[in-house]
Structure 1
Amino acid sequence: MEKVEARPAAPLDIVTRVGAIDLLRALTMVLMIFVNDLWSLKDIPAWLEHVGRGVDGIGLADVVFPAFLFIVGMSLPFAIDSRRAKGDNDLQLVWHVIGRSIALLVMGVFLVNGETINAGATGMGAVIWDAVCCVAFILIWNAYPKTMPIWLQRSLKALGVLILLVLAFIFRGGEDGQLVRFAPQWWGILGLIGWAYLVSALVTVFARGRLFVLVTAWVAFSLLSLAWAAKLVPAPLHIIPEPIIDGTMTALTLGGVVMARLFQIFQNKKENLRMTLVFTVIAALLICLSLYTRQFWGLSKLAATPAWLFLCSAFTLIAFMALYWLSDIAQKGHWFKPVRPAGTDTLLCYLMPAFLYAAIDLLHIELPDPLLTGGMGLVKSLLFALICVWIAGGLRKVGIRLKL
């Protein structure tokens, strides 16, 4: 039996995919596409949407992104153990982490610039910008078949890089008379994930499975979240990217890392009931922390408050436990087969709406008002999310899948 304190590598029989993590990732991605499409609807329940800035509260849309960050963390110990089992050393792991982080930051910056694009000055609107960016992302980061000639793979990747360079050069944003050039803005969703992933993955690499180190890192970034909310972080430290220095994003991801490591420990001992009890207690403590800190800084996604960090961590942990008992223990994972591609081709799924929106724009498709209103509108947005998942699954079958 391996010791928790020293874990240089994991045996192959321990490095396995956990069905509940894939399912939780899949369901979270479906929800992410669904809530991102709510802008197209009217007369829908307010609790489905984001809570406004400065408002103390939370909606469904405010829970999805932190859940995804938590799941990114849950995947890390398994992914790093797997790469170690294949022979990667720490230096190789660090370079892999840096490479993935840079890819996410690049994607985030390009997509976020589309939000302020000046269509007339750039020569294309936001919808087409996003679609062209996503084409370039796929060309650069697609996992090409090993049978494809290396020269062709490199040519396609180079074409993707060239497309991004041209887009960055021609981009103009802002209002006429006050145009701005291409630049990092708030990093975008993928960029935020990239920064949180960078720190959390490096911590996971050097922790080498030591639970004490992982818990200490989570506590440190949770305290940093409290300090940021209380405006106690010294000004010189503000040069550090906000997704890191505000503590919240990284704490969400590290929370997932800690829970995954605990899961590994309990799984190795086959103590599912004890694990469920421990996880339930942890979720309850997180909810208590959320309730306590809410009185000081409120509950807000846009302000990334500590209460939001703790509550969303608890929600995601509870969802994971439920899915683990349903899929891994009761063997009912096949119930979720329609959304399974979103758990394995997650990034590709995330990019799919850009192509559908571009197609709708180019074909001048206008849905009738009843399909954009109330309950029927919600059904439309759910079908939209499922179509994105199914298209991504189909693209995988023809050799298109993103691998960072």
Structure 2
Amino acid sequence: METIEPRPAAPSDSVTRVRAIDLLRALTMVLMVFVNDLWSLKDIPAWLEHVPRGVDGMGLADVVFPAFLFIVGMSLPFAIDSRRSKGDSDLQLVGHVLGRSIALLIMGVFFVNGETLNAGATGMTALVWDTVCSVAFILIWNAYPRTMPQWSQRGLKALGVFILLTLAFIYRGGEDGHLERFAPHWWGILGLIGWSYLVAALVTVFARGRLAILIGAWAAFSLLSLAWPAKLVPAPLHILPEPIIDGTMTALSLGGVIIARLFQIFQAKNENWRMTLVFAVIAILLIALSIYTRQFWGLSKLAATPAWLFLCSAFTLIAFTALYWISDMARKAHWFNPVKPAGTDTLLCYLMPAFLYLAMDVASLDLPAPWLTGGIGLFKSLIFALVCVWMASALRRIGIRLKL
């Protein structure tokens, strides 16, 4: 019996880099570093911060992480098509996905343990822990130049692995008298991204551009997002990690995959206005779903409610569409030059605050109280985020570039 294989997207529209995705990723990462620094400030607007657990609402900080998950999904069709165009098989793609997911999970777990570290029992502060972890991550996952001898690369990677193993061995967390050993207490931001990426990437690999499969997968995980808080998920499925079985995180990434695939289809036909109209309709439907489901479980990032999933997906889609018209159509991408490195050296940028915080601590740099208050404090946090971007850019220029 003859089998009809789905026609892959044309290379011209599938592997071309979309500036708007890079810029959206860059702006999201800058915002992530910015909101993560708000702890150092006082007397700032409450709408900038995370909404406490159990409260129905959402602040700016609650939008950043889901936007990043959505962007992870948006990158997948282009990345997978690019690898296929270079000859990668499905087995090779799955291997790459597994390796990248494991790397993110490892990073997430190490950072999570730093949150409960007992400095006296471990022999180092949380700032030192995060920085040493970041050094090890760079040693292991740096994209070393091809001119560098293989033995040197393997030696540096082995050093990074040794550092992590040593940290895990000496780690002690919790309070004196009730010390805990190194363990995955939860997955952390990078770990949550890793689980979402794992499922969304595998779906994208095997869907081979078939929109119906992608939409079906998104619908399935969106239904899980509805079923999980209603305690309707069958018990046998509870063996899966919560970031997968609760549906919300994975649905965010799969939503990005669908939008990227629609983008490829419309771009192949040069139908920008029709694409914009379709995206606008999708955003309206997502907002309507958010309003409807909010009455049952509220709007909450910490509870990962369906309303949060739908609303943040809509916001990210709107932001992407606006950036596409500004950067790719109006050719104004240069407006965002100061933050562009955060779109291409994203993970490296995420690691930079650890180095900067430690440097400030070692130098005993205590900023005056007015610099940490109100509008001036917010400006300080913005500069902090931009400095992290510029640090990542400087490291890239000397050959340090993380590639999972």
Using structure 2 for the length normalisation, give the TM-score: 0.98
Structure 2, gaps ≥5 residues long: none
Q: How far apart are residue 13 of structure 1 and its match? A: 5.8
Partner of 1:163: 163
Residue aligning to 2:148:
148
Q: Does structure 2 conserve the Cα–Cα contact (< 8 Å) formed by 1:21 and 1:71?
A: yes
SS in 2 for 1:161: helix
Q: CA RMSD in A?
A: 1.1
What amino acid is the match of 1:16?
A: T
The letter of the residue matching 1:341 is: P
- AA at the equivalent of 2:64: V
1:81 is matched with which residue? 81
Aligned 8 A contact 1:9 1:85 in 2: no
User: What does residue 180 of structure 2 align with?
Assistant: 180
Contact persistence 2:35–2:49 (CA under 8 A):
yes
- Taking the aligned partners of 1:9 and 1:139, their CA distance within structure 2 comes to 36
Task: Give the CA deviation at 1:7.
Answer: 3.4
Q: Deviations over 1:363-390 (max 9, x none)?
A: 2111110110000000000000000000
CA distance in 2, matches of 1:14, 1:160: 35
Cα deviation code 1:55-111 (max 9, x no counterpart): 000000000000000000000000000000000000000000000000000000000
SS of residue matched to 1:229 = coil
Aligned to 1:367: 367
Tell me which residue corresponds to 1:199: 199
1:19 CA drift (Å): 0.4
User: 2:264 is matched with which residue?
Assistant: 264
For 2:318 and 2:299, the matched residues in 1 are separated by 19
Q: Does structure 2 conserve the Cα–Cα contact (< 8 Å) formed by 1:51 and 1:62?
A: yes
The yes-or-no answer on 1:243 pairing with 2:269 is: no
Query: How many pairs were matched up?
Result: 401
SS at match of 2:11: coil
Q: Is the 8 A contact 1:47 1:58 kept in 2?
A: yes
Instruction: Tell me the residue number matched to 2:221.
Output: 221
SS at match of 1:342: helix
CA distance in structure 1 between the aligned counterparts of 2:235 and 2:368, rounded to whole angstroms: 52
* Contact persistence 2:9–2:209 (CA under 8 A): no
Aligned partners of 1:10 and 1:99: how far apart in 2? 27
Q: CA deviation at 1:9?
A: 6.5
CA shift for structure 1 position 362? 1.5
Conserved 8 A contact 1:10-1:82: no
Q: Conserved in 2, the CA contact under 8 Å of 1:10 and 1:81? A: no
- 2:158 maps to amino acid: A
Q: Could you tell me how far apart the structure 2 residues matched to 1:218 and 1:14 are?
A: 21
State the partner residue of 1:121.
121
Q: Which runs of 5+ in 1 are unaligned?
A: none
Runs of 4+ aligned residues of structure 1 deviating over 3 Å after TM superposition are: 7-10
TM-score when scaled to structure 1? 0.98
Aligned match of 1:356? 356
Q: State the SS of the aligned residue for 1:43.
A: coil
Look up the SS of the partner of 1:6 in the other structure. Answer: coil
Question: What is the distance in 1 between the residues matched to 2:6 and 2:36?
Answer: 43
Per the TM alignment, residue 41 of structure 1 is displaced from its structure 2 partner at its CA by 0.3
Partner of 1:37: 37
